[in-house]
Amino acid sequence: MTEQTMEPLAKHTTFRIGGPADYYLIPESRHEVREAVLYAKEKKLPFYILGKGSNVLFSDEGFRGVVIEVGKGMSGIALERAGVVRVQAGTSMSAMAAKMAEWGLAGFEFAAGIPGTLGGGIAMNAGAYNGEIKDCILTATVLDQSGRVRILKADELELGYRTSIIQKEEYIVLEAEFYFESGNPEGIKAHMRDLNSRRRDKQPLEFPSAGSTFKRPEGYFAGKLIMDSGLAGYQVGGAQVSEKHCGFVINAGGATARDVRTLMDNVRDIVYKKYGVTLEPEVKFLGDFEA
């Protein structure tokens, strides 16, 4: 297991923002994940499981605790039997989608452009373009807060819109099994290219961001509410509401965590005053934002 101290979190998040973590651990097996969690608990320090850092905002002061990266050290994909694949939690969803296409397995194309790891994707039931993790997962192997490894079936995962029992019980995903129907590899790859082209056309992929900044309110679209509130291009410091897609807050250059948090709070307040709809962040805030 790799251990680093005072590791800048801006290096590990898609926002490219965040101060240092007191301890930054990179386990390479489920045993080392358990060791890392015990390490944090023995020191009585808070800990956070990080994948590719695609849905988080660490404060400018950083994280006074232990960040455990379940990422490159725990990635791998294996074909177990016809249509069934076993994937480690640190595998990027885009890499998994590419491998499924190569093997002629259809149903994971939606994830090709999602910039996160499988563990995070399961925890939030990641989805796009009418596809979600819940559509194809069979089981998830998790570490619970007592340090016990458990295997949960799909119906035990309580997968809903950006939610799961993983989040509720603070489980740590170690690996998962999926089932996919056979398809034509070239057709699957063409579908993925089409979805990625649509993403490039509609999303500000040229700027650091955390993806969709707010959850979709029931009966509405967050991006449209923000746009209709006249907030396209609205800026606080280096943080900006994307003019290309108002559902994204981007790091337009030199943004601090405080810039992003202030902008998000202001957007939420303005939208509520105009439409009476409360926008709930999809981005998770970590660290001290009161300083």
Asked if residue 291 lies in contact with residue 61, where contact means CB atoms within 8 angstroms, the answer is yes
Q: DSSP H helical segments within the chain, as ranges? A: 30-42, 93-102, 118-123, 165-169, 185-202, 222-228, 257-275
- Coil, helix or strand at residue 138: strand
Neighbouring C-beta atoms of residue 254, cutoff 10 Å:
11
Our answer to whether residue 212 is catalytic in this structure is yes
Q: Is 58 exposed, middle or buried (0-12, 13-18, 19+ CB in 10 A)?
A: buried
Instruction: Identify the CA nearest to 132 among candidates 156, 114, 115, 111.
Output: 111
Our answer to whether residue 282 is catalytic in this structure is yes
Asked if residue 242 lies in contact with residue 189, where contact means CB atoms within 8 angstroms, the answer is no
Instruction: Identify the CA nearest to 12 among candidates 45, 55, 47.
Output: 55
Of 35, 61, 243, 282, which one is the catalytic site residue? 282
What is the Cα–Cα distance from 165 to 132, expressed in whole angstroms?
16
Of 7, 92, 94, 162, which one is the catalytic site residue? 162
Q: Is 78 exposed, middle or buried (0-12, 13-18, 19+ CB in 10 A)?
A: exposed
Of 54, 94, 212, 229, which one is the catalytic site residue? 212
Task: Return the active site residues.
Answer: 162, 212, 282
